[in-house]
Amino acid sequence: MALTTHPPLQLRARPPALAAAHRRRAHLPPRRARSCRSCAGADAGKAQARRAYPYDEIEPRWQAHWEERRTFRTPDIGDGLDTSRPKCYILDMFPYPSGAGLHVGHPLGYTATDILSRFKRMKGFNVLHPMGWDAFGLPAEQYAIQTGTHPKTTTARNIDCFRTQLKSLGFSYDWDREISTTEPAYYKWTQWIFLQLLKRGLAYQAEVPVNWCPALGTVLANEEVIDGVSERGGYPVIRKPMRQWMLRITSYADRLLEDLDDLDWPESIKEMQRNWIGRSEGAELEFCAVDQEGHDLGAKLTVYTTRPDTIFGATYLVVAPEHVLLPSLTSEEQRAHVEEYTEVAARKSELERTELQKEKTGVFSGSYAKNPATGEIIPIWVADYVLASYGTGAIMAVPAHDSRDHEFALKYELPIIKVVSPPNGNCDPEEAYADYGIMINSSSSSSGLNINGMLSQDAALEVTAWVESNGFGKKKVNYKLRDWLFARQRYWGEPFPVIYLDDTNEMVPLTENQLPLTLPELDDFTPTGTGEPPLTTAADWVRTTDLLTGKPARRETSTMPQWAGSCWYYLRFMDPKNSSTLVDKAKESYWGPVDIYVGGAEHSVLHLLYARFWHKVLYDIGVVSTKEPFKCLINQGLILGEVEYTAYRDNEGKWVSADSDSSLSDCIQEKVPADKITKVGDHYVLKDDPKIRLNARAYKMSKSRGNVINPDDVVSEYGADSLRLYEMFMGPLRDSKTWSTGGIEGVHRFLGRTWRLVVGTPLPDGSYKDGTMATDVEPTFEQLRVLHKCIARVSEEIQETRFNTAISAMMEFVNAAYKWDTQPKSVIDSFVLLLAPFAPHLAEELWFRLGHSQSLAHEQFPEAKNEYLKESEIVLPVQINGKTRGTILVDKECSEDDVFQIAASDERLSKYLDGKAIRKRIYVPGRILNVILDQQKART
């Protein structure tokens, strides 16, 4: 991997062709180039001033060097991989390659994983750091429908765009392992996993209520529906029953809960998964349905409750609008009202229906039920805050002890009976008391059940035992988690590897040697509008024959959801070219699990939960050797658009201050350019009228707001290393941050200072001399101390992913090095290696100029030596009569007498001591010196 020589760099204007190449999106139609706000309209002089070093020549050269030599390729086991070395598998969450390409928020997590990957390589680890594409799904198909372009074409184009952009940022991915979920060689194994689920009864078909979007022609997951419309396109969504493929994730609920404890994940993410799974212990109770006179209607309504102790406080029942018994429970007088209500409820998502803040609505069914504990007749209501998918789809309402039931009871004037008293007897009579306490009003001579005076927990056990012995119910563990709805009525997805026999409608799985079942070519992907998927139009593909019996059959025309391919991609990266098995056992055993997984918190539940479920199934059948797929999870924060300043004008066009008492809702909003505002205290005001305060806010980047920053433009203007460094320097990785072009100019100048520190200033013609300013002199102790303090700090901060403070440490080093008379080559070598994970292009160039013939990608990361980290001098506070008067710099081993002499000779302290009698001295080595003066003699 010896490097070829190259001519001295010339500091000259950027060639137009090179600038255009940086902005070009691979194979995409031309569009107007965007630029950072502060760059817009900048003249050539300003652009030249920003070019602090020749990044535009350095970066393309080193990217080409890495690609040509496959610098970051990770060998396979048996192909040169030294398995005696420790491994580190570092992974970014699978990106979806949209047509919009990257914005500057995307490289935040990618840069973090790249720094960690480069650091671990230099620390002697075998590093697996791959990249691929989660490319099936709704967005590509919608674009295909709108443009008439096959999704395969647009997907390939988008992938080319993303790949080009990622390579322009110098990320050290092993591109030999690149995969895409849309490739048959990949989804062959997605289909294989589905067959394993089917064999074990973990995949099944059922009639379930789903979110159906007629305009999109597909079923949507709950998280894809917002305020009753589809997240993509804003189309109306209704709830309707459909026969769908389901995965029995609920069978793994307890394991998914228990194994969270051993994961190095943010506690907030683990808690979100616990809440999503929602394990609860309670009881199922049976209520007999009756009419108003108490005559048995021949139906039993089963409810689930976590508080069986409150059964005496149940004053009504509530069933979900989709409850299977609702038609038989609805009286003729109420049928029109109930049907109207259920129709409205069908247009709401589950999230909308269960939102605590929303006003509760409901309708009386016309039927009643008998409370088994009291024998009393209570009404049955229909309300959308109860879901058919949770528990039994019916609840006993205890309004005195549940806030939702309480609100509902107040609205519809239903009885409220208090049955639990707080231990101290104090509670708000106007509010529901939901905690445990002592049972009251909880006995019945007719049923023989008496739990008065019991603690709630004991009463719950007593009630459960009573209903079980009397045949009214049983103990039950329940989960909020529902089985995974695993089908979409779309074209662009993995086909299901099953067929249906024409004569019996029996479902028959394909054999493994029939995989992959590939998608047919379609010209029309438009939803049918009937619920039938677009694949139904591919008649020649749908019609088939069962190979075992020769009987005519038809294929499944729904496809798998986008989640399918992203559930297991981390395993395929370990062995991407294997055509005979999903992943080689030896490779999985070495590389698994993923050591560091970085991505957005928006995937905290569904993707991570689904992937964990599939991994556990694969563990059970011996495909993987670990119980969990992702050892450590890191969620990066958002990068928000630049701060927007909003001013307000009244109807007469006069400015209105944002802190005005008058209503701003009647005012006209007006964006104000940054050069027209100034900051006063904690607020922003108009420069021309400081009395007018503005609103300042940063928003999430989006095309609709027009605040998206294109990384291509930033790379063109400042270089990839500047973009990488700035995104890490903005603040802690996990926090949200606001983009500021002024900030990137600062780190760009730092890289320019680093360049000039090592290479020197440009010659009169703009070129740079060969080599560097470094010399083969022995470094001084102070130089080594500065270096090793930097090494120690950068090493620790990278390990702890505090990249912003690691950059600060390197800035401090450069500031110190500028004051040195000499630049020892050994010291500069070490610093360049420290810089390499953050600014790899610049570091490679400096390393080459320092005389090295190999890339630094696999050089050893510097180690801090303790002898240079010990502080020989300390700052010691000095007190006079117990009051601190100043500090002195002393040696750690200084004696008390020496410390006092230094203090007495200090100009700031001597004035307190001159001519004063000293009664005693109190010296705590390394902590403080306190001089006690004789007050009597001081007064004379």
User: What SS3 class is residue 802?
Assistant: coil
Q: Is 26 exposed, middle or buried (0-12, 13-18, 19+ CB in 10 A)?
A: middle
Is the pLDDT confidence value at 353 over 90?
no
| Cis bond upstream, residue 840 (ω within 30) | no
Interval 701-759: pLDDT, tens: 877 777 888 999 999 999 999 999 999 999 999 999 999 888 899 999 999 999 999 99
Residue 628 pLDDT = 98
Q: Give dist(CA 572, CA 584) in Å, integer.
A: 9
Is the pLDDT confidence value at 14 over 70?
no
pLDDT band at 33 (very low <50, low <70, confident <90, very high): very low
Residues contacting 870, CB < 8 A, separation 6+: none
Per DSSP, the residues of 876-915 read EEEEETTEEEEEEEEETT--HHHHHHHHHH-HHHHHHHTT
Buried b (16+ CB within 10 A) or exposed e, 797-833: bbeebbbbebbebbbebbebbeeeeebbbebbbbbbb
Residues contacting 679, CB < 8 A, separation 6+: 685
Cβ-based neighbour number of residue 769 at 10 Å: 13
Sign of the C-alpha dihedral computed for residues 147, 153, 158 and 160 taken in this order: negative
Is the pLDDT confidence value at 791 over 70?
yes
Interval 558-577: pLDDT, tens: 999 989 999 999 999 999 99
- Ramachandran region of residue 757, left (φ > 0), alpha (ψ -120 to 50) or beta? alpha
Residue 37 pLDDT = 36
CA angle 809, 813, 817 (to 5 degrees): 175
- The residues that bridge with 738 in the sheet, in sequence order, are 640
Residue 312 pLDDT = 97
Is the pLDDT confidence value at 350 over 80?
no
pLDDT band at 813 (very low <50, low <70, confident <90, very high): very high
Interval 384-402: pLDDT, tens: 999 887 789 999 999 999 9
Cβ-based neighbour number of residue 689 at 10 Å: 10
Residues contacting 841, CB < 8 A, separation 6+: 55, 58, 59, 62, 63, 170, 719, 720, 721
Buried b (16+ CB within 10 A) or exposed e, 376-404: bebbbbbbbbbbbbbbbbbbbbbbbbbeb
| Cis bond upstream, residue 516 (ω within 30) | yes
Residue 803's identity, in one-letter code, is F
Is the pLDDT confidence value at 15 over 70?
no
* Strands 87-92 and 126-128, bridge-based pairing: parallel
- Of 43-47, 545-549, 636-640, least confident by mean pLDDT is 43-47
Residue 356 pLDDT = 57
Share of the chain above pLDDT 70, in %: 93
- Of 85-99, 313-327, 547-561, 903-917, least confident by mean pLDDT is 903-917
pLDDT band at 381 (very low <50, low <70, confident <90, very high): very high
HSE, side-chain direction, 13 A CA sphere, residue 815: 7
Per DSSP, the residues of 269-318 read HHHHHHHHH--EEEEEEEEEEE-TT--EEEEEEEEEES-GGGGGG--EEE
Helical H segments across 169-266, by residue range: 184-199, 253-258
Cβ-based neighbour number of residue 728 at 10 Å: 26
User: What SS3 class is residue 674?
Assistant: helix
Walk across the sheet containing 918-924 and list its strands: 883-891, 873-880, 928-933, 918-924
Residue 223 pLDDT = 63
Average pLDDT over residues 778-788: 94
Residue 526's identity, in one-letter code, is T
> What is the C-alpha end-to-end distance of the chain, expressed in Å?
83
Q: Give dist(CA 676, CA 114) in Å, integer.
A: 39
More confident residue, 78 or 383: 383
For the chain, give the number of residues. Answer: 940
Share of the chain above pLDDT 90, in %: 68
pLDDT band at 20 (very low <50, low <70, confident <90, very high): very low
Q: Give dist(CA 49, CA 264) in Å, integer.
A: 46
State the chain's mean pLDDT as an integer.
89
Of residues 563, 600, 573, 595, the one with CA closest to residue 263 = 595
Domains, the chain, in order of start with CATH, read: 85-182+564-635 (3.40.50.620), 279-479 (3.90.740.10), 659-699 (no CATH), 714-868 (1.10.730.10), 873-933 (3.10.20.590)
Interval 411-464: pLDDT, tens: 999 999 999 999 887 777 889 999 999 999 999 999 999 999 999 999 999 999
Q: Give dist(CA 87, CA 97) in Å, integer.
A: 29
Q: Is 519 exposed, middle or buried (0-12, 13-18, 19+ CB in 10 A)?
A: buried
Residue 266's identity, in one-letter code, is P
Q: Give dist(CA 305, CA 395) in Å, integer.
A: 7
Interval 826-855: pLDDT, tens: 999 999 999 999 999 999 999 999 999 999
Average pLDDT over residues 573-598: 97
User: What SS3 class is residue 87?
Assistant: strand
Is the pLDDT confidence value at 9 over 50?
no
Is the pLDDT confidence value at 12 over 70?
no
Is the pLDDT confidence value at 215 over 90?
no
Cβ-based neighbour number of residue 80 at 10 Å: 9
* Strands 179-180 and 132-133, bridge-based pairing: parallel
Q: Give dist(CA 397, CA 404) in Å, integer.
A: 9
Cα-based distances in Å from 481 to 198, 253, 274, 706, 845: 20, 8, 10, 38, 54
**Chain centroid to CA 83:** 32
Is the pLDDT confidence value at 22 over 50?
no
- The residues that bridge with 933 in the sheet, in sequence order, are 918
Interval 847-865: pLDDT, tens: 999 999 999 999 999 999 9
* Strands 132-133 and 126-128, bridge-based pairing: unpaired
Residue recorded with tokens 């009051």: 883
- The residues that bridge with 296 in the sheet, in sequence order, are 290
Is the pLDDT confidence value at 27 over 50?
no
Of residues 259, 272, 255, 244, the one with CA closest to residue 484 = 244
Q: Give dist(CA 757, CA 737) in Å, integer.
A: 30
Is the pLDDT confidence value at 285 over 50?
yes
pLDDT band at 351 (very low <50, low <70, confident <90, very high): low
Q: What is the DSSP letter of 22?
A: H
**Is residue 724 a contact partner of residue 838, using CB atoms and an 8 Å limit?**
yes
**Chain centroid to CA 407:** 35
- Of 76-90, 413-427, 520-534, 681-695, least confident by mean pLDDT is 520-534
Q: Which token pair is 494?
A: 């993995």
Per DSSP, the residues of 808-864 read HHHHHHHHHHTT-S--BHHHHHHHHHHHTTTSHHHHHHHHHHTT--S-GGGSPPP--
Across the chain, which distance is largest between two alpha carbons, in Å?
A: 121
Q: Which token pair is 489?
A: 């009525």
Per DSSP, the residues of 725-777 read HHHHHSS-TTS-EE--HHHHHHHHHHHHHHHHHHH-SPPTTSB--SS-S-BSP
Of residues 625, 558, 548, 641, the one with CA closest to residue 593 = 625
Residue 10 pLDDT = 41
Q: Which token pair is 562?
A: 């986008």
Is the pLDDT confidence value at 29 over 80?
no
Helical H segments across 400-455, by residue range: 403-412
Q: Give dist(CA 339, CA 100) in Å, integer.
A: 44
Residue 51 pLDDT = 79
